[in-house]
Amino acid sequence: MGILEVKGVNKRFGGLQALGDVNLSVTENSVHAIIGPNGAGKSTLLNCLVGKLIPDTGSVMFNGQSVLGRKPHEINQMGISRVFQTPEIFGDLTVLENVLIPCFARRDGAFSMHAFETVGQERDMLDEAMQMLEDMNMADKRDMHAASMSRGDKRRLEMAMCLVQQPRLLLLDEPTAGMSRADTNNTIELLKQIKGKRDITMAIIEHDMHVVFSLADRITVLAQGSPLVEDTPENIKGHPKVREAYLGESA
Amino acid sequence: MLGLEKKDATLLLVVIALALAAPILLNPFPTESAMAQFNAGYPDLMQKFAIYGIFAIGFNILFGLTGYLSFGHAAFLGVGSYSAVWMFKLLSMNVIPALVLAVLVSSLFALVIGYISLRRSGIYFSILTLAFAQMSFNLAYSVLTPITNGETGLQLSLDDPRILGISQTADGGIPLTSLFGLAMRDSVAVKLGGWSFEFSVGYYVCAILMLVCFYLAMRIFRSPFGLMLRAVKTNQTRLNYTGLNSRPYTLAAFVISGMYAGLAGGLLAAMDPLAGAERMQWTASGEVVLMTILGGAGTLFGPVLGAGFIKYFENIFSKINDSVLQNWFGFLPDGVENVVLWVVEHFVGPGWHLTLGLLFMLVVIFLPGGLMEGGQRIAGLLRGKRKSGGDGGGDDPEYHPGQTPHVAE
Ligand SMILES: Nc1ncnc2c1ncn2[C@@H]1O[C@H](COP(=O)(O)OP(=O)(O)O)[C@@H](O)[C@H]1O
Ligand SMILES: [Mg+2]
pLDDT of residue B395: 41
- Spatial CA neighbour of B77 closest among B262, B259, B255, B209: B262
pLDDT of residue B399: 40
Do A202 and A15 touch, CB atoms closer than 8 A?
no
Put simply, the answer to whether A101 touches B231 (Cβ < 8 Å) is yes
Do B340 and B330 touch, CB atoms closer than 8 A?
no
User: Residue B349: left (phi > 0), alpha (psi -120 to 50), or beta?
Assistant: left
Nearest CA to ligand 1 atom 1: A13
pLDDT in tens, chain B (409 residues): 678 889 999 999 999 999 999 999 999 999 988 888 899 999 999 999 999 999 999 999 999 999 999 999 999 999 999 999 999 999 999 999 999 999 999 999 999 999 999 999 999 999 999 999 999 999 999 999 899 998 899 999 998 899 998 889 999 899 999 999 899 999 999 999 889 999 999 999 999 999 999 999 999 999 999 999 999 999 999 999 999 999 999 999 999 999 999 999 999 999 999 999 999 999 999 999 999 999 999 999 999 999 999 999 999 888 888 778 888 888 888 888 888 888 888 888 888 888 888 989 999 899 999 999 999 999 989 887 544 444 444 444 344 444 333 333 3
Sheet containing A4-13: give its strands across: A16-26, A4-13, A57-62, A65-66
Distance in Å, alpha carbon of A116 to nearest chain B alpha carbon: 6
Q: State if residue A35 touches ligand 1 by the CB under 6 angstroms criterion.
A: no
Enumerate domains of chain A plus CATH numbers: 1-79+169-251 (3.40.50.300), 94-166 (no CATH)
Provide the pairing of β-strand A65-66 with A80-83: unpaired
Provide the pairing of β-strand A65-66 with B182-183: unpaired
pLDDT of residue B391: 44
Put simply, the answer to whether A73 touches B242 (Cβ < 8 Å) is yes
pTM: 0.92
Do A100 and A129 touch, CB atoms closer than 8 A?
yes
Q: How many CB atoms lie within 10 A of CB A250?
A: 10
Low-confidence ranges of chain A (pLDDT < 70): 245-251
Compute CA distances B185 → B47, B172, B203, B262, whole Å: 11, 18, 9, 21
**B6-280, what's its fold?**
ABC transporter involved in vitamin B12 uptake, BtuC (1.10.3470)
Compute CA distances B256 → B76, B270, B406, whole Å: 11, 21, 20
Provide the 3-class DSSP secondary structure of residue B157: coil
pLDDT of residue B385: 56
CA of A1 to the centre of ligand 1 (A): 29
Alpha-carbon distance B367 to B374, whole Å? 6
Put simply, the answer to whether B224 touches A145 (Cβ < 8 Å) is no
Put simply, the answer to whether A91 touches B234 (Cβ < 8 Å) is yes
Alpha-carbon distance B9 to B14, whole Å? 9
Alpha-carbon distance A6 to B103, whole Å? 51
Q: Which of A16, A44, A86, A174 to mutate to test the pocket of ligand 1 (most atoms within 8 A of CB)?
A: A44
B244 touches chain A (CB under 8 A): yes
Alpha-carbon distance B407 to B292, whole Å? 20
Do A109 and A120 touch, CB atoms closer than 8 A?
no
The predicted-structure confidence for A157-183, as pLDDT tens digits, reads as follows 999 999 999 999 999 999 988 788 988
pLDDT of residue B336: 86
- Domains in chain B: boundaries: 6-280
